[in-house]
Structure 1
């Protein structure tokens, strides 16, 4: 089976982890802050907070922005459930904004229409989570302008997008948002085995997330409510979590980060081959907004033929050893969200996408012969 994605681990990556295994620290050592500094530098952000998953990073970002009971968070329905669940963890409610028909990201136009209605009803969102599907940035200039007009905060869920750019600048630099989230799951562009990070230019938000990722405990005297009793002293300032990243993970991340640009470049080479070889098939191929340079975590096609059903095409590709996937089922169509009152038809463009979308294999280790196998299987299935 050719998977839709997989990690690329080099001997240098392995050596970096072995070096930590042979050191004094396996966790809470020097590698995590070193990785954070490298991430912040690469993205031109002031602060990076490394954690054990992007889901944890999303939760911390919502908490740092003060999301709580009575608040509403808006996001896109075409994302993994974590982009919505993070608001529920905080006691807030969630709503969804339909997607753009070309990028499959949250539609800035649909967002504006929904904001106009919400303002009249007095139910504006506290936070909007803009998800960069496949690695392509949302239209952040428009979303940022709307945030200033309507008073909401912005989290960029860039779990797919490290190494990408928007208007020539690295995604994660925070020019148009309060916090940006990255994922380092093995199928993502770089990996720490499992892990994530939250980047921000706001010192208060960074300090808040660092405290919350480690039980709400601090050893910093400047943050304490009284003078320390001794060098051993620490204080729990609020209810936090154990969301820490280990030095083992950070060492792998540091090594992977050194190859990030080459990883993204290779993904663009693979995508260009797909673009050329699939051009004559009854498919909608990925469209790139001129303001973006995608990290290309996913290569998503949409079926535009009535001769072969979506289910049949998916099943035939799987049967031929092509590990295609579907990213994603609209979140509000999950039973958990349906129980909240969401129903089919809530976001028409998202549901149209769901009926047609398939993710083809794309990862740096994909061989040319394997890609030809994917294309041939797709051609045969469409016949």
Structure 2
């Protein structure tokens, strides 16, 4: 009998283990040199000027909207097909959320739906947009930037699914997710099923020095030893221990051993992307002739990093149960955020985004991870086709 096949899985090598052990035996478990090394290497990988490592992707979202200046009552546009954290970060700051529908082909935020929301309200009504590179598919941020600039909006790109993904802009330049010329900040996650696994952990990237400096302070309680004012009694008696808390920040730091693992995984990032493309291509090829299976659209100007491989089928629950009976543990990504109990309780109702709700009724994520073997993938494909055609 074949072992259980999950939808996603981390790949930890002996080199990863040795790197973490070395970090554990070093002088610093946190706030040490491996964090800065990871930040610099990651910034170089995605093509951004700055990177700030934090404790997880949710912390990255929270600190980013704070650094971008989100205030209570500010309104932000995002997509409903994403993990709840993409919306929750706005609520943490007491902001209000407006949901744009999804593109029914790519499952990313619909630029037409964003435009409709912007056109329906006066300039200044919204403060920002949080697009999501869903399943690894990059949002066309060049087109979104044009709309954002017309309404003085910032763009926070949720790239948790998409390190290594990119789109080609009108100047024929590859614009990588999290490092492109069109976002104000971007975030990533290092959860075990992501491209780069660090147990937990997250990263914020930006090309703005101002945002970068804000993030560094907010990550560590709002405390700094830079640009001190000594505005306390007896300032002449303060020594090198002295610090000042300038903002109400958080303890969202990552550890050195997590950063060490992230760094080790980053070295294999391109190898992992290549393998994900091979798996995706095999799925596309296998399902090309099946009218009962719909796959995420592929477009020439976008390179999908394939965190997920999503299909749509008529009887999603039936296929989900059938696969589980054959030890294949597929997953659903995602329930539209505004249909979750918390968001319904604060006033959101079904029918808000018809494309997103239709997608949710039919979507299923098949196994997608670099160590998925050819035999395992053939088993997945065979079971899917048996159910659909049987």
> Could you state the TM-score of these two structures normalised by the residue count of structure 1?
0.96
SS in 2 for 1:199: strand
Answer yes or no: is 1:261 the counterpart of 2:258. no
In the other structure, the counterpart of 1:56 is 59
Could you tell me how far apart the structure 2 residues matched to 1:208 and 1:285 are?
41
Aligned pairs, number: 376
- Aligned-residue CA RMSD (Å): 1.3
Q: Against the structure 1 CA distance between its residues 39 and 342, is the aligned structure 2 distance closer, same or farther, given a 3 Å change threshold?
A: same
1:210-254: CA deviation from partner (whole Å, max 9, x where unpaired): 11111111012x254657821111111111111000000000010
In the other structure, the counterpart of 1:82 is 85
Could you tell me how far apart the structure 2 residues matched to 1:339 and 1:96 are?
16
- Kindly report which structure 2 residues correspond to 1:298-309, keeping only aligned pairs within 5 A, or say none: 298-303=308-313, 305=314, 309=315
Q: Against the structure 1 CA distance between its residues 210 and 101, is the aligned structure 2 distance closer, same or farther, given a 3 Å change threshold?
A: same
Residue 279 (structure 1) shift: 1.5
Could you tell me how far apart the structure 2 residues matched to 1:292 and 1:225 are?
52
Could you tell me how far apart the structure 2 residues matched to 1:159 and 1:223 are?
36
SS in 2 for 1:209: helix
Is contact 1:324–1:359 with CA below 8 Å preserved after alignment?
yes
Answer yes or no: is 1:367 the counterpart of 2:373. yes
SS in 2 for 1:74: strand
Residue 174 (structure 1) shift: 3.4
Answer yes or no: is 1:131 the counterpart of 2:132. yes
Could you tell me how far apart the structure 2 residues matched to 1:118 and 1:265 are?
43
Is contact 2:124–2:152 with CA below 8 Å preserved after alignment?
no
1:79-119: CA deviation from partner (whole Å, max 9, x where unpaired): 00000000000111111100001110000111111100022
Could you tell me how far apart the structure 2 residues matched to 1:164 and 1:65 are?
24
Could you tell me how far apart the structure 2 residues matched to 1:169 and 1:128 are?
18
Runs of 4+ in 1 over 6 A off after TM superposition: none
1:313-353: CA deviation from partner (whole Å, max 9, x where unpaired): 11111221111001000000001101111111100000110
- Kindly report which structure 2 residues correspond to 1:340-359, keeping only aligned pairs within 5 A, or say none: 340-359=346-365
Could you tell me how far apart the structure 2 residues matched to 1:71 and 1:164 are?
30
SS in 1 for 2:215: helix
Residue 33 (structure 1) shift: 0.4
Residue 286 (structure 1) shift: 2.1
Among 221, 240, 247, the residue aligned to 2:249: 240
Residue 130 (structure 1) shift: 0.5
1:122-159: CA deviation from partner (whole Å, max 9, x where unpaired): 67221100100011111111100001101110000000
In the other structure, the counterpart of 1:100 is 103
Answer yes or no: is 1:378 the counterpart of 2:384. yes
Structure 2 gap ranges (5+)? 169-173
Is contact 1:47–1:199 with CA below 8 Å preserved after alignment?
yes
Q: Which deviates the most, 22-31 or 38-47?
A: 38-47
> Could you state the TM-score of these two structures normalised by the residue count of structure 2?
0.94
Is contact 1:174–1:199 with CA below 8 Å preserved after alignment?
no
Residue 163 (structure 1) shift: 1.2
In the other structure, the counterpart of 1:284 is 294
In the other structure, the counterpart of 1:337 is 343
